[in-house]
Amino acid sequence: SRGYSENNNFLNNNNQMVLDMILYPLIGIHQTINWETVARLVPGLTPKECAKRFDELKSSGSSPVDNQYSPLMAAGESPV
């Protein structure tokens, strides 16, 4: 772990990891993201919370996801 942390009280660590794995590959995609669909992939999160996290990732400019998770991202379904 890189010790990445942010003050996101609405997320537990597992949900944040899953959400980050879904969102990070979408940062370079220039199309509208369906936040309802993204929220369904991460139980307990609202579309608004997912969009907020996406904005945080875009503004940070670095990946919070460790390299070991890359195969999981590649195998996952695209939520857009």
Q: What's this model's pTM, rounded to 2 decimal places? A: 0.59
Domain with 62 in it: 13-75
Assess if residue 5 is contained within a domain. no
The per-residue pLDDT of the chain, averaged, comes to 74
23 burial (CB, 10 Å; 0-12 / 13-18 / 19+) is buried
Q: Is residue 7 part of a domain?
A: no
Instruction: Return the higher-pLDDT residue of 72 and 18.
Output: 18
| Per-residue pLDDT tens digits for 43-62 | 889 999 999 999 999 888 65
The Cα-based distances of 22 to 8, 41 in angstroms read 17, 9
Question: Which residue in 24, 6, 16, 25 sits closest to 43, CA to CA?
Answer: 16
Please count the structural domains in the chain.
Answer: 1
User: Which tens digits make up the pLDDT trace of 8-44?
Assistant: 444 567 888 899 999 999 988 878 999 999 999 998 8
